[in-house]
């Protein structure tokens, strides 16, 4: 529906703003954690649409965001100690 489309559009805009701000402030642990959470939430959303609700099929529009979310989660978790400064 139009409402769900606009809601998803606002979510995408909000998560993009958080990720952009996070990209410039990787050294701040809270910002790093919030950015990491946006990728985690996106990953859970896309996987649940495929596994639980069965509303997604393995095609380009589904696979691309899953690859981005998965690779971003793996990279951010593996690099946490390098970017986040210990105070």
User: pLDDT by residue (tens digit) across 33-70?
Assistant: 999 999 999 999 999 999 999 998 999 888 999 999 99
Q: What is the rounded distance in angstroms from the CA atom of residue 34 to the CA atom of residue 29?
A: 9
CA 68 vs CA 3, 16, 39, 71, 85: distances in Å: 26, 13, 8, 5, 25
Instruction: Label residue 84 exposed, middle or buried (CB < 10 Å: 0-12, 13-18, 19+).
Output: middle
pLDDT at position 5 over 80: yes
User: pLDDT by residue (tens digit) across 12-28?
Assistant: 999 999 999 999 999 99
């Amino acid at each position: 529906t139009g409402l769900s489309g606009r809601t998803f559009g606002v979510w995408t805009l909000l998560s993009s703003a958080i990720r952009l701000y996070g990209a410039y402030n990787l050294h701040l642990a809270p910002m790093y954690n919030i950015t990491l959470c946006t990728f985690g939430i996106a990953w859970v959303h896309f996987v649940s649409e495929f596994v639980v609700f069965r509303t997604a099929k393995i095609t380009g529009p589904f696979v691309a965001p899953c690859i981005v979310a998965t690779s971003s989660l793996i990279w951010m978790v593996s690099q946490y100690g390098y970017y986040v400064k210990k105070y």
